[in-house]
Amino acid sequence: MHAWEQNLANFLHYIRLDHIKRKILVFSLLATLIPSLTMGGLYYVHAKRFLTEKVAQKLRDVTAQNERELDLWIKERLYDARVFANSYVVSENLEKIIRANTAPGTKATALRRLKDYLKSVGNKFVDYEALMVADADARTVATSADRSAPLRLPHDWRNRNNADTPIMGDAYWDPELNKMVMMLAVPIKAQNGGFLGLLAVKLNFHTIDEILGRSSIGNTGKSFLIAPDGTLIAGSRPNAPGRVIVKLPFNVPGPSETDAVLLEYPDDRGRAVIGVLRRMSQLEWGVVTQIGKNEIYAEIVQVRNLTLLISLGLLLAIGLAAYLLGLTIVRPLDRLTNGAARVASGDLEVSLPVVSHGEIGYLTKAFNNMVARLRLGQEELAAINGKLIEKNKELQVLSITDSLTGLFNRKYIMEILTNEVARSRRNKRPFAVMMIDTDQFKKYNDTYGHQAGDDLLKKIGKIFMQSIRNVDYAARYGGDEFIILLPEIGKEGAFEVADRIRGLVNAETPRGAADGVTVSVSIGIAAFPEHGDTPEAIIAAADGALYQSKRDGRNRVVLAGVERQPDIEVTK
């Protein structure tokens, strides 16, 4: 904070100008009493400049709006042409016509259908003078007009077609139609993507004339569209027939120039006008909007006397007084505004200096107090959020984990299996699924009790986790049945893992042979995509292999699709 600002605030407090109401009152008195007659001579220049800039901005806005609407018109015509070119009627019949081995009768039928289609489309749109279909060498094959005419395409139309850029020709005067037209073409492609030919559209500028007519400003204003050489393409006023050249003191801007060009120049009748030219983005044409200078400055004459009485001499004295008094109002408010913005963005380390002794000073104190309370509340909220995050992590683990064995639960492993099927199908990679059942678990429960059975399941779950990789998934499928998912492993690798698990279970689990209870596991294996390409199919295949293992005598590993596995020695 500057020392002068504090001194000024103390002085205003001393003369009792702390309150905003008093400051505004003093400012109004000063603004009324300070002479303003010296500004009379400067008004005309200022008003003229202001009005010129206002009209220039209006011209720029109108020109920009016209440019946007004309670009949109071009884009819509291109879109329509592409839609028509992609029609099955056009591509199919053109292919029949240009194909060498097509029967003459078939070619005639295809040509008739193509002409009928072009005529039906052309009759629905006022912007189309003719629609033509040409072959790959730009030779006209069919047209909606009564008489065929050569296509007027740019010399580099093949390069544009290969680059997939719009093929748009120059505007030209058509003596037969007695109007300005242009040619637009899009490629016609076969179903296999091959290039068949072109759909060309001869466009008139009737819609553009209407667009430009709606945008004219004032009584003398005009809007028109010109080519780079000055040829008049379309305008808001009726044009004389034939090729008209508009003489302007500037050229159409280049592709790198996007801002509108503003100049004063005489029109075709010698009247001084102000005009704006803007280049279209789609074509090299220029959009021009102009208005007569006499019409612009007529408003100054009407309002000059009235404004002189109101605005005399208010610039220097009142500006200085407003600046000094405004500092004491605006600067504290700016601090409050910036402080509020920082608080809104999450920064609560805000403390504003209290300069004024009036309402703003009290407001600043209240603001600082509010921020301090928010800071305290944020700290409390952060502590609560930290606890919530920890609880949410615990809930997330509980939602996917079997509470007894610590393995994944059935719901989560099915989600993982579904994702693994999609990933393996996309990457063309294998994976395997093992369905595991604890042999004689019910008898073990009946013999040693349910607590011992739970301990056995926990022990088996630990064996699974010790036997698989970090990228593998082991889950309790239900009861004493488990499932293991082995990504990126085929049936041979899965068989080795399963046999290792079976051996570890035999070696590390209780062996109650004296009671007639032998703990072991039966394992069924199914591989993707050999035994199924959907989660359901893979589960069913692995489950079927598991039942085959049970039927073969338990304590063995069975691969899906193999009816009988070789006997495996059981470790006692």
pLDDT given at position 32: 66
Q: Where among 256, 280, 296 does a domain terminate?
A: 296
The pLDDT mean for the chain works out to: 80
pLDDT given at position 522: 94
CA 103 to chain centre: 50
Residues whose CB falls within 8 Å of the CB of residue 569, separated by 6 or more in sequence, listed in order:
none
pLDDT given at position 242: 43
**Percent with pLDDT over 70 in the chain:** 82
Other residues' Cβ atoms within 10 Å of the Cβ of residue 406 = 14
CA dist., res. 375 & res. 367, Å (int): 12
- Is 311 domain-assigned? no
Q: Quick one: CA torsion of 398, 399, 402, 406, rounded to 10 degrees?
A: -40
Q: Where among 273, 296, 319 does a domain terminate?
A: 296
pLDDT given at position 266: 81
pLDDT given at position 446: 85
CB burial class (10 A; 0-12, 13-18, 19+) of residue 135?
middle
Is the pLDDT score of 566 beyond 70? no
Residue range 358-379: mean pLDDT, rounded: 78
Is the pLDDT score of 27 beyond 70? no
- Is 269 domain-assigned? yes
Question: What tens digit of pLDDT does each residue of 37-93 get?
Answer: 566 566 667 777 787 788 888 888 888 888 888 888 888 988 998 898 888 888 888
pLDDT given at position 237: 64
CA dist., res. 415 & res. 419, Å (int): 6
pTM above 0.85, yes or no: no
- Beta bridge mates, 133: 142, 199
- Is 423 domain-assigned? yes
- Is 399 domain-assigned? no
CATH code assigned at 431: 3.30.70.270
- Range of 205's domain? 59-296
Question: What tens digit of pLDDT does each residue of 240-290 get?
Answer: 444 455 555 555 555 444 456 777 878 777 788 888 888 887 777 888 888
Is the pLDDT score of 133 beyond 80? yes
Is the pLDDT score of 472 beyond 90? yes
- Is 565 domain-assigned? no
- End-to-end CA distance of the chain: give it in Å, rounded: 89
Is the pLDDT score of 569 beyond 50? no
Is the pLDDT score of 450 beyond 70? yes
CA dist., res. 446 & res. 517, Å (int): 10
Helix (H) or strand (E) segment spanning residue 181: strand 179-189
Same domain, 243 and 94: yes
On whether the CB atoms of residues 74 and 283 are closer than 8 A, the answer is yes
Q: Where among 235, 261, 296 does a domain terminate?
A: 296
On whether the CB atoms of residues 518 and 511 are closer than 8 A, the answer is yes
- In the set 437, 439, 480, 543, the catalytic residue is 480
- Beta bridge mates, 135: 197
pLDDT given at position 484: 95
Q: Give the dihedral sign, CA 312/315/318/322.
A: positive
On whether the CB atoms of residues 332 and 365 are closer than 8 A, the answer is no
Is the pLDDT score of 548 beyond 80? yes
Residue range 550-566: mean pLDDT, rounded: 80
Same domain, 85 and 210: yes
CATH code assigned at 149: 3.30.450.20
- More confident: 312 or 453: 453
Overall domain count for the chain:
2
Range of weakest confidence among 103-112, 194-203, 323-332:
323-332
Q: Is 486 helix (H, G, I), strand (E, B) or coil?
A: strand
- Is 26 domain-assigned? no
**Percent with pLDDT over 90 in the chain:** 20
- Is 537 domain-assigned? yes
CA dist., res. 184 & res. 186, Å (int): 7
Range of weakest confidence among 135-144, 154-163, 187-196, 226-235:
226-235
pLDDT given at position 19: 61
Other residues' Cβ atoms within 10 Å of the Cβ of residue 206 = 12
- Is 30 domain-assigned? no
Q: How would you classify residue 516: left for phi > 0, otherwise alpha for psi between -120 and 50, otherwise beta? A: left
User: Is 480 among the catalytic positions?
Assistant: yes
Same domain, 423 and 276: no
Question: What tens digit of pLDDT does each residue of 429-439 get?
Answer: 999 999 999 98
Is the pLDDT score of 501 beyond 60? yes
